[in-house]
Structure 1
Amino acid sequence: MKAILYIGHGTRSKKGANEAKQFLEAVMGYVNAPIQEVSFLELTPPFIEEGFRRCVERGATEIKIVPIFLLTAGHIKQDIPDEIAPLHKRYPDISITTTEALGVQEVILDAIAELVKRHLAGPIFSADSILLVGRGSSDPQTRIAFNQIAEGIKRRLTVSSVDVCYLAAIEPTFDQGLETITAKEKGRIIVIPYLLFGGLLLNEVQLKVKQKQKLGHAISCTDSLARHNAIQQIVIDRANAEGERYAAVNH
């Protein structure tokens, strides 16, 4: 029997955890699988081992792992496979496959542009600028991906500039990015947190944007990306896809 095990990142924020769970509950209603379970890599229970065990207890003979992560980095390449490997040994008769991270997709860039327009509730001007804020990773592919994202957003919104900064692991930091973009501001500054759900990281971004607002800067912040239904549709499509759309886990 086929099962889907969704894996989110996890957060210490109760609000962020609830947002992720509600998102996945909505997804599950559109996925054609008799068994579906939600789990998280860290911080938020149930964790991967428990979610996997629940699938087995409900009669799963094949489990598709669907990670709810924006980009391919250490969690996708190392942490999740490390969690799955001992489960394969414990349940050798269970077929295990996994989908990829959401990646840099045109539909996601379209959704970001729409979120910005919805946030501004009016026209975007060429003097406006964007600060794209990533979670951050030491994986070298992270910078490559964010350069692609920045270029795609700039094409769609025709703003004067799109700067990139990160919340952890690599520079420029978010604080550095804020200082740089406010020093050269000509029009409005729109901060885009490249985060799927709310949580402590989004709270940090919003707080620092408010501090800049109090100093008189014309700066504002968009919401988490999962607020756009395009993200939900991508996850639904991944979960419903047949075997050629995803790769086997290395055992």
Structure 2
Amino acid sequence: METKVDEIAPNIFRLSTFIPDMPPYGFTFNQYLINADEPLLFHCGGRNLFESVSKAASNILPLDKIRWISFGHVESDECGSMNQWLAAAPKAQVVHGVIACMVSLNDLADRPPRVLENNEVLDLGGKRVRYIDTPHVPHAWESGLVFEETTKTLFTGDLFTQLGNGPAVTTESIVSSAILAEEGFHATALTPWTASTIRSLKSLNPECLAVMHGSCFKGDCGAELEALATYSADALTKAQTS
């Protein structure tokens, strides 16, 4: 396995590992390192990816400089290597929302996590990340996303998941590719609040979507979010009437 590094926005690095033997077209696992006075890692990756991803991250900065670790929700590919990162970065602390800490992370993390309230801003020094609760979007009670305010980068977690191994960043719409993946995996929890939660992210006015599985997007992010929200609303209606 090889983890590739791309700077998708100033001092925001995508660490991407492509697994070609995952059907049908292979799959990318992306982590993001925000380089600031207090660097933050978003997504840890699974335990078996730690060696490759941490080696790539060490080419950006010494691992012991990492101060914060976060992720979308509690799932192996999001936080399986969390405690390996905590061991490699002795000053690091996991940060997440109230539900994730209460239900899982107070027990799972080797060091107590820091709780972030909805819309609380964590000042990294040169970068600012806003934590946003997105319960059950895409598919876990404790789900949440972060938005880096200085570069207007929204870290979307499993939203906009794509198959295959596309470019690090694209200006072409990723919605159709995300719908193709969703109709294969059926990973999104369709609730009465799914579409409105996705739609609410438009108010951030993001300029970059940092996707966990697939290419990042730069361009009219509001239109991308609206299209994904519309698809989710239509999928819920179809499920209710079928």
Bigger share in strand: 2
TM-score (norm 2): 0.29
Which structure's relative contact order is higher, taking Cα pairs within 8 Å and 6+ residues apart? 1
TM-score (norm 1): 0.28
Bigger share in helix: 1
